[in-house]
């Protein structure tokens, strides 16, 4: 069963596990060994004891419910409240695309603008696996006219988008975004799993360049706390920060690393690495690299030492 945070907390209090709210999880007494060294993550349904060598038990919430006095009415109301929350969240997050949008899978392949938009993406080295989910906008009455459409999906619905000018008109902005706040938006969130080696870039076009690897983009100079938490919720096996080749990239990647470390769940053994773009290029998209060799990754400490030495010698 899945329940709201409020009902989970009620379970923990009723069973006297002495829950302490730690933002993403509750620190609780283990139902098996009694030590306050167990965790219940707010998106999970089982208590995990961190005393791996001495206890390490996993206790499903369903077991606690069966062994304690929770009425059928309480359970029914809690489940209904969870369904209501999910519905409200999905409605709140869905974004309406601009008028004039045509997805490439639906477009007229012989039309001039279809070819122009597609050729632009191919010239930028965008992976075909991403292009199939993208589109182009034709609407002379809109500021979105003649732009490629890059949708962001979460739980299968569009919750954000970027529209990029594909005719490179200097008189207008290159990028337009949907109006909703991007603080908790994670590109490719639906494709991040526990076995994923996740690459985090500064710009979305870098993430779109990768083939057979999963990349995401910060959408701002630094990774937000909400983005970091969402990434950790997916528990990737490895996280790789890929800064742009400039002083801002070097500074921001340090902040991103600190944010990730600060909000890293104690139960995860995910390692964080850095990938350095070849010096002659500004970013991955410009380099033309389609796949990053995991043997080329370096630790954050080595990245700092290497860049400090570079500054000293220059």
Give the mean pLDDT of 140-151: 95
Which pLDDT tens digit goes with each residue over 96-125? 899 999 999 999 999 999 999 999 999 999
Q: What is the pTM of this model?
A: 0.70
Which of 237, 234, 241, 268 lies closest to 257 in space, CA to CA?
241
* DSSP track, 75-96: HHHHHHHHHHHHHHHHHHH--P
- Residue 15 CA, chain-centre distance (Å), reads 34
Which domains are assigned to the chain?
A: 5-93 (no CATH), 98-180 (3.90.980.10), 188-314 (3.40.1360.10)
Which pLDDT tens digit goes with each residue over 67-88? 665 554 455 454 445 444 554 4
Give the mean pLDDT of 251-264: 93
User: Please, are residues 198 and 214 in contact by the beta-carbon 8 Å criterion?
Assistant: yes
Give the mean pLDDT of 26-41: 89
Q: Lowest-pLDDT range, 26-30, 144-148, 152-156, 178-182?
A: 178-182
Per-residue pLDDT at 89: 53
Q: Is the pLDDT of residue 54 over 80?
A: no
Which pLDDT tens digit goes with each residue over 6-17? 778 888 888 889
CB contact burial 141-165 (16+ within 10 A = b; e otherwise): eeebbbbbbbbbbbeeebbbbbbbb
Q: Is the pLDDT of residue 290 over 50?
A: yes
- Residue 29 CA, chain-centre distance (Å), reads 31
Q: Lowest-pLDDT range, 61-65, 178-182, 278-282?
A: 61-65
Q: Lowest-pLDDT range, 22-26, 162-166, 281-285?
A: 22-26
Q: Which residues contact 239 (CB under 8 A, 6 or more apart)?
A: 198, 200, 231, 260, 270, 271, 272, 273
């Amino acid at each position: 069963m899945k329940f709201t945070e409020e009902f989970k907390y009620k379970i923990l209090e009723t069973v006297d596990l002495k829950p302490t709210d730690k933002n993403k999880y509750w620190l609780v007494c283990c139902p098996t060994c009694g030590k306050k060294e167990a965790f219940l993550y707010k998106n999970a349904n089982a208590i995990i004891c961190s005393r791996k060598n001495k206890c390490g038990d996993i206790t499903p919430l369903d077991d606690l419910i069966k062994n304690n006095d929770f009425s059928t009415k309480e359970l029914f109301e809690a489940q209904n409240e969870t369904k209501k929350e999910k519905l409200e969240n999905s409605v709140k997050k869905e974004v309406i695309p601009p008028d004039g949008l045509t997805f490439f899978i639906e477009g007229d392949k012989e039309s001039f603008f279809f070819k122009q938009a597609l050729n632009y993406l191919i010239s930028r080295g965008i992976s075909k696996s991403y292009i199939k989910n993208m589109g182009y906008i034709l609407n002379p009455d809109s500021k979105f006219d003649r732009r490629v459409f890059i949708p962001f999906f979460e739980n299968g619905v569009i919750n954000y988008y970027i529209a990029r000018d594909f005719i490179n008109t200097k008189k207008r902005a290159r990028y337009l975004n949907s109006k909703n706040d991007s603080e908790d938006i994670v590109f490719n969130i639906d494709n991040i799993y526990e076995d994923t080696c996740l690459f985090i870039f500064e710009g979305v076009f870098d993430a779109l360049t990768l083939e057979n690897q999963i990349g995401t983009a910060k959408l701002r100079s630094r990774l937000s706390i909400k983005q970091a938490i969402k990434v950790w919720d997916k528990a990737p096996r490895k996280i790789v920060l890929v800064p742009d080749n400039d002083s801002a990239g070097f500074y921001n990647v340090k902040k991103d690393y600190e944010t990730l470390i600060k909000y890293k769940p104690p139960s995860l053994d995910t390692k964080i690495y850095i990938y350095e773009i070849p010096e002659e290029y500004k970013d991955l998209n410009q380099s033309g690299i389609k796949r990053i060799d995991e043997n080329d990754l370096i630790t954050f400490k080595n990245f700092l030492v290497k860049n400090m030495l570079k500054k000293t010698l220059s």
